A and B are shown apart, each in its own frame.
Chain A
Amino acid sequence: MIRNLKTGFVVCAVLLVAMGCATAPPPPPVVPAPVAQAPKSYVVLMENADGTVGRLAVSGAKGEVLLNQPRSGVDLDGTASTPYTVDENRINRDFGEALAAQPPLPVSFMLYYKAGGTVLTDESQALIPAILDAARNHPAPDVSVIGHTDTVGNTEANEKLGLQRAQSVAEIIKKAGLQVHDLTIASHGEKNLLVATPDNTPEPKNRRVEITVR
């Protein structure tokens, strides 16, 4: 009993101290020094390797800015400020190391079949040495073999057909001696057309197997 009383007393004391702490006046608020420097976060639209230029939509808390001119930039400061031109010096200063670390861009090859079988056309057969070369020129080459179909037939059947084509081409390039870090075989079915067509349209250029060396 005495022991319990003592324990109770200790608990009360600890609680009182804790409550005392909790009700102590808060420390005076720290006022941050006003930041006068210009914002340093920004984004720059660049031309693609083929010379074309895409678009960027930059949105912040206060609106959205669309960039569509090469080398146009905008600050990432939450405001929808006016785009400006970013000169070569600033690009090299801020992005020199990032630009230098760019791996070789992926290279794609299109292979086509002779009608009604798994034999490549002569033109496609002739591309095989170039595919092997590309694999040698890319660090840790990972290669994808993707089968595509035209829009004849339904979506599910075309996904299967694309996969069958991809598998047969993968066998051909493996036999030719392709050395890779990773190989993926997949099908895009009729969802990634080279030539845009309506549904149920035969189009030889869409019936292809695309090999990409990354």
Chain B
Amino acid sequence: MKTMTRFIIVLILLILTGSPAWAQDAIGFVKTVSGSAAVIDAGKPIKAQVGTPIKMGNTLNTGPKGAMGITFKDNTVMSFGPDTELTVDEYLYAPGKDDLKFGTSMSKGSLQVVSGVIAKLKPQSVTMKTPTGTIGIRGTRFLVKVEP
């Protein structure tokens, strides 16, 4: 009986520490889509539709005639023009524990960002990397265009 209990505990620990993709919570959702747009999760592209969840580490992209709007859990709103690609490198949103971070990398395209609660509570923790410079966001709306 004891061995059985131990076995089950070890099994549970293994499952928890393995942190499979399905255990990760959504950090935002796709709200608008036109033309072709995708959410790339662990290398696999998923066709973006209204309601598609976004997870940390995902790459979001639009096709040559695509556009997409995303709202994140901290109220950050991003809208993508055509032929745009952005990766969510880091997203921590637990203000009760002071865990706040929002790091993205934009490799190409056109984007509007309306910053949210993370930028309001901890502005220095919100950054966007582009191939030729980093943008630090101090609570605002802005536009970025990247031509690789």
Contacts and interface: CB of A to CB of B under 8 A. Distances in A.
Interface band, chain A: 35 or more
Interface of A: 39-49, 53-60, 76-78, 91, 94-106, 138-140, 142, 144, 159, 162, 181-182, 184, 186-189, 191-192, 212, 214
A77 B133 contact: yes
B132 A41 contact: yes
Interface string B70-113: 11010101011110100000000001111000000000001110
B34 interface: yes
A101 B69 contact: yes
16 contacts: A39-B147, A41-B147, A48-B114, A48-B140, A48-B141, A56-B135, A58-B134, A76-B130, A78-B133, A97-B82, A97-B110, A101-B80, A106-B75, A140-B31, A144-B73, A214-B75
Contact of A102 (B29, B110, B112, B139): B112
A182 B112 contact: no
Contact of A54 (B138, B143, B147): B138
Majority SS at the chain A contact face = mixed
Interface string B116-142: 110101000000001111111111111
Contacts, number: 174
- Taking each of A40, A142, A144, which has the highest tally of chain B beta carbons within 10 Å of its own beta carbon? A142
Contacts of A96: 81
B81 A181 contact: no
Nearest to A186: B96
A6 B133 CA distance: 59
Nearest to A96: B81
Contacts of A100: 67, 79
Interface band, chain B: 35 or more
A41 B79 contact: no
Contacts of B130: 41, 76
- Taking each of B69, B73, B96, which has the highest tally of chain A beta carbons within 10 Å of its own beta carbon? B96
B67 A43 contact: no
A212 B70 CA distance: 15
Contacts of A105: 75, 77, 114
B46 interface: no
A211 to B, nearest CB: 12
Nearest to B31: A103
A100 B79 CA distance: 8
Given A97-B67, A101-B32, A103-B69, A45 B96 contact: no
A67 to B, nearest CB: 8
A124 B121 CA distance: 26
B29 to A, nearest CB: 5
B45 interface: no
B75 A212 contact: yes
Contacts of A212: 75
Nearest to B109: A98
B31 to A, nearest CB: 3
Nearest to A191: B95
A57 B81 contact: no
Q: Which 3 A-B pairs have the closest CB atoms?
A: A54-B140, A103-B31, A98-B81
Contact of A184 (B32, B53, B73): B73
Given A44-B142, A59-B133, A94-B110, 16 more contacts: A41-B131, A54-B141, A56-B135, A60-B134, A76-B146, A94-B81, A98-B79, A98-B81, A98-B112, A98-B143, A101-B34, A106-B71, A140-B30, A144-B73, A182-B53, A212-B75
